[in-house]
Structure 1
């Protein structure tokens, strides 16, 4: 059996959990109150940093789940995503609308990636 490695752990959650060659990231959000494009840029920057810490990068993302506070923000979020996502490395992806934990948050990203 593979060990489970937890990184950046506090009483509530771990920001990174590695099991075998699979990396699970906690949901990433941007600064409350910023528009969805800026929050998306912040989230993607955090994802890149966490993946690097775990020994991976954005070309190794297997799956991304995106929650938007309002689906009216879908096109604006996608414009930032499309500029960030590396060509030829699109992960499986889902996007839906949900009430997020803090009213000022517009978007949250949840990522699963491969190590290596």
Structure 2
């Protein structure tokens, strides 16, 4: 069975399938903020969506972080390091990419286990 969470015509915020929860790339609601604040905002959105499906960040198994500029790597990690649970860091890749909105500094996509 496949369950779609907050589906729209273009994408679903999350999809549950085969014991995994796939979250769409989450982007900041505060586009005028710096990379640390944008990252904290996105991580809060991830927490909220995981809560909606009955999970916590401890269930995240894989993360891809997209940065508009790798110069923001340390700023992003400042928020990430405060958020990630001790001893429960997921597998992670961080790449530089041109994001859909030029004001976005970060986009984060996660996969969690049920």
**Structure 1 residue aligned with 2:50:** 51
Unaligned stretches of 5+ in structure 2? none
Q: Which residue of 2 is the match for residue 18 of structure 1? A: 16
Residue 54 of structure 1 deviates from its aligned partner by 1.2
TM-score for the superposition, normalised by structure 2: 0.97
Q: Which runs of 4+ in 1 moved over 2 A?
A: none
TM-score computed with the length of structure 1 as normaliser: 0.95
- Alignment partners' CA distance in 1, 2:93 and 2:83: 17
Q: Aligned ranges for residues 78-89 of structure 1 at < 5 Å?
A: 78-89=77-88
Q: Deviations over 1:51-97 (max 9, x none)?
A: 11112110010000000000000001001101110001010000010
Matched, 1:28 2:26: yes
Q: What's 1:72 paired with?
A: 71
Flag structure 1 segments of 5+ consecutive residues without an equivalent. none
